[in-house]
Amino acid sequence: MEPSEYSARLSAIVLSSEDAILSKNLDGIITSWNPSSEIIFGFTAAEAIGKHISLIIPEELLGEEDTIISGIKRGERIHHFETIRKRKDGSCFPVAITVSPIRDDAEQITGASTIARDITEQNASDRTAAMLAAIVNSSDDAIVSKNLDGIIKSWNKGAETIFGFTAEEAIERSIFIIIPEYKLEEELDILRKIRAGERISHFETVRKRKDGREINISVTISPIKDRSGKIIGASKIARDITEKAELEQQRKLYLKRLQDLNNYKDQFMVIVSHELKTPLTVIKGNLELLEYDMQEDEQKLVLVKRAMTHVDKLTNLIVDLLDVSKIQSGRLELKMTTFDLTEFLTEIINSIQQTSASHTIAFNHSKEKLTICADVERLEQVVINLLTNAIKYSPDAKLVTVNADVRQNQVIITVKDEGIGIAPEDMDKIFTRFFRVQGLSSNFPGSGVGLYISSEIVKQHGGDIWAESELNKGSTFYFTIPVIEPA
């Protein structure tokens, strides 16, 4: 190549280079300035040439430039030196520079050429990469990558702790070193999915440690793609859930034991209640005979009547307990019939009124006839429970009011008293099993199952039950039952 052609080519390279290429003499005066220098530093060639190189060097780094020039004078070359330079607008940025001596025909060093590359972006991506590496390294989870043949390519500290292999022991070996033999097929399936670009989230499986011990892990596996989007491997994030799995197993065991105990308790309640019912019936029968015989003996008659009252209470309690166990085991069956609610309520109210002289039970109803379809005996149980509660928990009041109304295909039955009331914090508990409000109401006899049974009966009818109350003012209990439209 002719010398002139050679220098023409060199000059073309300098002109088209993306790096800043500039030269300076030994006094630091800029002697050439390519187009990329203009872009990178912001000065045009006219603005830069003839000026001292300190034009683009931050003040605090001028000493560094003196050292470079001294090296150049000795014929030294400085390769890829990372430092900071200054733009025309005063902003500073990181550069990598390579500085070489320029010699004249007599081999005398006359200056230096500098190639400067703006490494702002590279530094940022280096920083991001360093940050990501730090995250991976400090993670307690095992973070592992493998290629599509299942060869381990990276292995963090978490993986060392969880699987027991060091990074040196694991990298470049097959992922099968941590897979129990009976799970090999599963791993092959995972690799197939990864090749198809699928991600596997929170998959729970078993892996093998270096010491052979098996551990339960939850793993998320994602494909790794190269710049062109081609899948080249997979990253795995695995968490040791052995403790969680053991706790879960323990929880299931306790739950099973609790269910067994609950079943025993239900069976026990059924057996005991049945066994108690028979002798009670015999006692009641005999007391009735005694009562008949002792009509003349007032004193003894009082004793017999008292014994009979207690037998009745015991019988009611046993019936309630049997109902509770029926509800618990889902054996509360309804015998549905169609009947008139107004007539039904009137009969119950009359019968309770006969034995409760202390209170007046008022009955209001919006319709003469209200046909409903329900289990008469069970519904009677609900109404009697609400009425006896209203009387029992309002010892200083005189009035109990029953209402029957129709609202949107539902009859709504209300039992209102002016008694001791219920505190707001107890309102959501009164319908639960065996709950009794503490304090004043525990002075009244009761077992805390009446409202529970009532609410279950109402719910089984497709209705609803609730209460409103104010302490010392009284309570109102509501329940609804679907109405049968006349055909």
Q: By the criterion CB under 6 A, which residues form the site for ligand ADP?
A: 385, 389-390, 393, 417, 419-422, 430, 435-437, 441, 446-452, 475
Q: Which is nearer to ligand ADP, 6 or 444 (CB)?
A: 444
| Closer residue to ligand ADP, CB minimum distance, 321 or 411 | 321
Q: Please, what is the minimum distance in Å from the beta carbon of residue 460 to ligand ADP?
A: 17
Give the residue from 239, 234, 60 showing the smallest Cα distance to 139: 239
CA separation, residue 269 to residues 322, 398, 433, 457, 465 (Å): 7, 38, 14, 20, 27
Residue 233 CA to residue 191 CA, distance in Å, equals: 9
| Cβ neighbours around 63 below 10 Å, total | 9
Q: Of 100 and 447, which CB lies nearer to ligand ADP in the complex structure? A: 447
Which of 223, 220, 208 lies closest to 148, judged by CA? 223
Q: How far is the CB of 465 from ligand ADP (least distance, A)?
A: 11
Q: Least CB distance from residue 446 to ligand ADP, whole Å?
A: 3
Q: Residue 33, Cβ neighbours under 10 Å: how many?
A: 23
Cβ-based nearer residue to ligand ADP, 352 or 390: 390
CA distance 367 to 369: 5
Q: Which residue is nearest to ligand ADP (CB)?
A: 446
Distance CA 385, CA 340 (A): 20
Nearest distance in Å: CB 244, ligand ADP: 41
What's the closest the beta carbon of residue 329 comes to ligand ADP, in angstroms?
20
Q: How far is the CB of 213 from ligand ADP (least distance, A)?
A: 55
Phi-psi bin for 168: left (phi > 0), alpha (psi -120 to 50), beta?
Answer: alpha
Cα separation, 223 vs 146, whole angstroms? 10
Of 51, 123, 118, 44, the C-alpha closest to 88 is: 44
Of 455 and 480, nearer to ligand ADP (C-beta) is 455
Q: Which residues contact 21 (CB under 8 A, 6 or more apart)?
A: 14, 32, 34, 36, 37, 113, 114, 115, 116
Query: Closer CB to ligand ADP, residue 44 or residue 472?
Result: 472
Nearer to ligand ADP, 101 or 421 (CB): 421
Q: How far is the CB of 390 from ligand ADP (least distance, A)?
A: 5
The smaller minimum CB distance to ligand ADP, of residues 419 and 463, is found at 419
Nearest distance in Å: CB 459, ligand ADP: 15
**Residue 6 φ/ψ region, left for φ over 0, alpha for ψ in the -120 to 50 degree band, beta for the rest:** alpha
